[in-house]
């Protein structure tokens, strides 16, 4: 049996005619960048995430970058964040000439530890970026600076609590486009207006540039496809949560699963963009599953504070031990909505056979 980490063909095939119709609509209008399709998607997205504003952008990475630019982060500033996340979270900080300041994670949730984040803050701290990792909502530290929520993996998990939230619509996300796309959502009128200005090279009116922005625009074809999927998002979430519960029952009822293999903690808002376990002999297990036809992924094999490009920050191995241990032990199993009970039983059986 083949069990891929993600099956986009199974995901898109039932939507084929609707997606093609949406793409034809864009083709017929000739409006391919921003325009009515994007505006409609922004209104629908804002209602879905319970925010006043949603601003479509070119990617989740650019959403982080635009959010930091909108609140004025720049050269010499510091931004506190987690070392256990996708590179873009810290990369956006460094690209603006600011300094990423990493605080260790909570070993149970994998999230930025709020107490450690507060300790890492200084008088140079301009923002904190907690990451709602794997689809579970993170807690933000109590610090008197803007909170930018990296919600790339957790669309709709919880209402916005910070200054703004950043979304990714990369194809593997719970709500995925047919390429790179993203958005910011916020209840702050000034932040929304600033992001709309920044995404068009800081131009207002056209060809006049009061600020330096960039090309962060959302393409209309991505907005059209996302509008097809958005009404189904709640159903996708239910399916992922059902699959997570099925995994728990299968692991509990299967002989040979070691107690050291730890399943993710379940919370009512968890939307399971990934189902990540802590596994003894993780790399050997992953090789075994690959030979059996089971797709897995390691999110993330090297924490950000140990990445070569951040060597100048001065962190060393052992600086943030919980993040480093997680990087050695985590393994993501298939969790996509179209996953069948038979496939999940096969995955668990293969894990049991390895141990």
pLDDT of the residue at 110: 97
Q: What percent of the chain has pLDDT over 90?
A: 99
37-75 burial code (b ≥16 CB/10 A, e <16): bbeebbeebbebbebebbbbbbbbbbbbbbbbbbbebee
Average pLDDT, the chain: 97
End residue of a domain, out of 166, 197, 231: 231
- 186 and 57: one domain? yes
End residue of a domain, out of 231, 255, 285: 231
Backbone angles phi, psi at 290, to 5 degrees: -65, -40
Look up the CATH number of the domain holding residue 84: 3.40.640.10
107 burial via Cβ count (<10 Å: 0-12, 13-18, 19+) = middle
Is the residue at 3 inside a domain?
Answer: no
pLDDT of the residue at 155: 96
- 163 and 220: one domain? yes
Q: What is the pLDDT of residues 50-65, one digit of tens each?
A: 999 999 999 999 999 9
Mean pLDDT of 262-282: 96
- 194 and 254: one domain? no
Q: Which residues are CB-neighbours of 265 under 8 A, at least 6 positions away?
A: 108, 109, 136
Length of the chain: 355
- 227 and 240: one domain? no
Q: Hunting for tokens 């959302």 — which residue is that?
A: 218
Is the residue at 22 inside a domain?
Answer: yes
Is the residue at 178 inside a domain?
Answer: yes
- 178 and 302: one domain? no
Backbone angles phi, psi at 56, to 5 degrees: -70, 140
Is the residue at 280 inside a domain?
Answer: yes
Q: What is the pLDDT of residues 188-229, one digit of tens each?
A: 999 999 999 999 999 999 999 999 999 999 999 999 999 999
- 51 and 81: one domain? yes
94 burial via Cβ count (<10 Å: 0-12, 13-18, 19+) = middle
pLDDT of the residue at 100: 98
Q: What is the pLDDT of residues 228-242, one digit of tens each?
A: 999 999 999 999 999
pLDDT of the residue at 219: 97
Is the residue at 157 inside a domain?
Answer: yes
- 100 and 151: one domain? yes
pLDDT of the residue at 196: 98
Task: Characterise 311 by phi-psi region: left (phi > 0), alpha (psi -120 to 50), beta (else).
Answer: alpha
Residue 164's pLDDT band, with cuts at 50, 70 and 90, is very high
Name the most confidently modeled range: 27-36, 154-163, 298-307.
298-307
Is the residue at 2 inside a domain?
Answer: no
pLDDT of the residue at 18: 97
Q: What is the pLDDT of residues 302-340, one digit of tens each?
A: 999 999 999 999 999 999 999 999 999 999 999 999 999
pLDDT of the residue at 104: 98
Q: What is the pLDDT of residues 246-256, one digit of tens each?
A: 999 999 999 99
- 338 and 205: one domain? no
End residue of a domain, out of 195, 215, 231: 231
Range of the domain at 127: 8-231
- 279 and 175: one domain? no
Q: What is the pLDDT of residues 170-183, one digit of tens each?
A: 999 999 999 999 99
Structurally, how many domains does the chain consist of?
2
pLDDT of the residue at 11: 96
């Amino acid at each position: 049996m083949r069990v891929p980490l993600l099956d986009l063909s199974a995901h898109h095939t039932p939507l084929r005619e609707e997606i093609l119709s949406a793409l034809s609509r864009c083709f017929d209008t000739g409006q391919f960048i921003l325009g009515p399709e994007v505006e409609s998607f922004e209104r629908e997205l804002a209602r879905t995430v319970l925010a006043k504003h949603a601003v479509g952008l070119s990617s989740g990475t650019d959403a982080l970058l635009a959010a930091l630019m909108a609140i004025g982060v720049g050269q010499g500033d510091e931004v506190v964040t987690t070392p256990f996340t996708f590179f873009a979270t810290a990369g956006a900080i460094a690209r603006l000439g600011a300094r990423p300041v990493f605080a260790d994670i909570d070993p149970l949730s994998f999230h930025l530890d709020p107490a450690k984040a507060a300790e890492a803050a200084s008088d140079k701290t301009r923002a904190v970026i907690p990451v709602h990792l794997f689809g579970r909502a993170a807690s933000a530290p109590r610090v008197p600076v803007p909170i930018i929520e990296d919600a790339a993996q957790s669309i709709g998990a919880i209402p916005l609590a910070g200054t703004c939230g950043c979304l990714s619509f990369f194809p593997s996300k719970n709500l995925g486009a047919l390429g790179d796309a993203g958005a910011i959502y916020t209840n702050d009128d000034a932040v929304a207006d600033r992001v709309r200005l920044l995404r068009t090279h800081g131009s207002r009116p056209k060809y006049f540039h009061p600020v330096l922005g960039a090309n962060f625009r959302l393409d209309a074809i991505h907005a059209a496809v996302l509008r097809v999927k958005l009404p189904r998002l709640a159903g996708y979430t239910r399916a992922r949560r059902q699959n997570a519960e099925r995994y728990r029952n299968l692991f509990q009822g299967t002989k040979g699963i070691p107690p050291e293999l730890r399943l993710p903690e379940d919370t009512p808002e968890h939307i399971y963009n990934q189902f990540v376990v802590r596994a003894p002999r993780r790399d050997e297990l992953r090789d075994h599953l690959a030979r059996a036809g089971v797709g897995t992924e390691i999110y993330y094999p090297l924490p950000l504070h140990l990445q070569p490009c951040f060597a100048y920050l001065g962190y060393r191995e052992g600086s943030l031990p919980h993040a480093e241990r997680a990087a050695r032990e985590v393994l993501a199993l298939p969790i996509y909505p179209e996953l069948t009970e038979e496939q999940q039983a096969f995955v668990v059986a293969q894990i049991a056979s390895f141990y």
